[in-house]
Chain A
Amino acid sequence: MTAVLSVENLTVGYRTRGTLVPVVHDVSFEVEPGQVLALVGESGSGKTTTGHAVLGLLPGNGQVTGGRIRFRDQVLTELGPRGWRDVRGRAVSLIPQDPGVSLDPVRRVGHQVEDVLRLHTDLDARARRDRVLELFELVGFTDVERRYRQYPGELSGGMRQRVLIASAIAVEPDLIIADEPTSGLDATVQKQVLDLIDDLRARSGTSVVLVTHDLGVAADRSDLLGVMQHGRLVETGPTAQVLADPQHDYTRRLLDSVPARLASARERVEVPASREVVVEVEDLRKVYGDVAAVDGTSFEVRRGETFSIVGESGSGKSTTARVLTGLTQATSGRVRLLGTDVTGLGRRGFRPLRRDVQIVYQNPYASFDPRFDVYQVVEEPLRSLRDRPPGSGGRFSGRFSGQFSGRLGGRRPHEDEVVAALEAAALPADVVHRHPRELSGGQRQRVAIARALVLEPKIVVLDEPISALDVSVAAQILELLRTLQAERDLTYVFISHDLAVVRAISDRVAVMREGRIVEHGPVERVFSAPETDYTVQLLDAIAGRRLTAGVP
Chain B
Amino acid sequence: MTTVVDTGSVTRPGTDPAPALEQPAARERPLPVRALAWLGGHWTLVLAVAVVALVLAWAVVPGAFASHDPLAVDPAGKLRAPSAEHWFGTDQLGRDLYSRVVHGARASLSGSAIAVAVGAVVGSLLGALAGWFGGVLDAAIGRGIDVLLSIPGFLLAITIVVLLGFGIVQAAVAVGLTMTATFARLIRSEVLRARTSTYVEAATTSGASTWDILRRHVVPNSIAPTLSLVTVQLGIAIIWIASLSFLGLGAQPPDPEWGRLVSDGRNYIASRGWLTLWPGLTVVAVVLATNHISHHLTRRDAS
Which residues in A have some Cβ–Cβ distance to B below 8 Å? 16-19, 42-45, 230, 256, 262-264, 325-327, 347-348, 351, 354-355, 357-359, 361, 363, 366-371, 380-381, 383-385, 399, 426-428, 438-443, 451, 455, 472, 475-476, 479-480, 483
Contacts and interface: CB of A to CB of B under 8 A. Distances in A.
A447 to B, nearest CB: 11
Q: Nearest 4 pairs between A and B by C-beta?
A: A426-B9, A440-B18, A354-B207, A385-B207
Point out which of B26, B203, B212 has the most chain A C-beta atoms below 10 A from its C-beta.
B203
Contacts of A483: 2, 5
A354 B204 CA distance: 9
B209 A351 contact: yes
A380 B221 contact: no
Q: Which of B9, B201, B206 has the largest count of A CB atoms less than 10 A from its CB?
A: B206
Given A358-B205, A381-B207, A440-B11, A476 B17 contact: no
Given A17-B24, A384-B212, A366 B198 contact: yes
Given A359-B202, A369-B217, 15 more contacts: A17-B24, A19-B25, A43-B18, A44-B20, A351-B207, A351-B209, A358-B205, A359-B205, A369-B216, A371-B220, A381-B207, A399-B212, A440-B16, A476-B4, A480-B5
A381 B204 contact: no
B1 A479 contact: yes
Nearest to A423: B9
A262 B1 contact: yes
A441 B18 contact: yes
Interface of B: 1-2, 4-5, 8-13, 16-20, 22, 24-26, 197-199, 201-210, 212, 216-217, 220-221
A264 B199 contact: no
B202 to A, nearest CB: 4
A479 B207 contact: no
13 contacts: A17-B24, A18-B25, A347-B204, A359-B205, A366-B198, A366-B199, A368-B202, A369-B199, A381-B206, A399-B212, A443-B11, A451-B202, A479-B4
A354 B216 CA distance: 18
B219 to A, nearest CB: 11
A384 B206 contact: yes
A326 B207 contact: no
Contacts of B210: 347-348
Contact of A354 (B5, B18, B205): B205
B214 to A, nearest CB: 13
Contacts of A45: 17
B19 A480 contact: no
A380 B203 contact: yes
Contact of A476 (B8, B26, B203, B204): B8
B1 A42 contact: no
Contact of B1 (A264, A383, A385, A455): A264
Given A42-B17, A44-B17, A428 B10 contact: yes
A327 B206 contact: no
A476 B210 CA distance: 35
A427 B10 CA distance: 6
B205 A326 contact: yes
Contacts of A44: 17-18, 20
A451 B206 contact: yes
Contacts of B205: 325-327, 354, 357-359
A370 B24 CA distance: 21
Contacts of B206: 354, 358, 380-381, 384-385, 451
Contacts of B11: 427, 440, 442-443
Nearest to B28: A19
Contacts of A326: 205
Given A42-B17, A230-B17, A381-B206, A367 B25 contact: no
Contacts of B197: 366
A461 B204 CA distance: 14
Nearest to B8: A476
B129 to A, nearest CB: 18
B17 A263 contact: no
Contacts of A325: 205
Contact of B221 (A361, A371, A399): A371
A44 B17 CA distance: 8
B199 A368 contact: yes
B66 to A, nearest CB: 41
A196 B290 CA distance: 59
A263 B11 CA distance: 21
Nearest to A18: B25
A17 B201 CA distance: 38
Contacts of A442: 11, 16
Contacts of B17: 42-45, 230, 440
Given A440-B16, A443-B16, A483-B5, A367 B207 contact: no
Contacts of A355: 207
Contacts of A438: 13, 19, 22
B208 A380 contact: yes
Nearest to B22: A438
Given A16-B25, A327-B205, A440-B11, A367 B16 contact: no
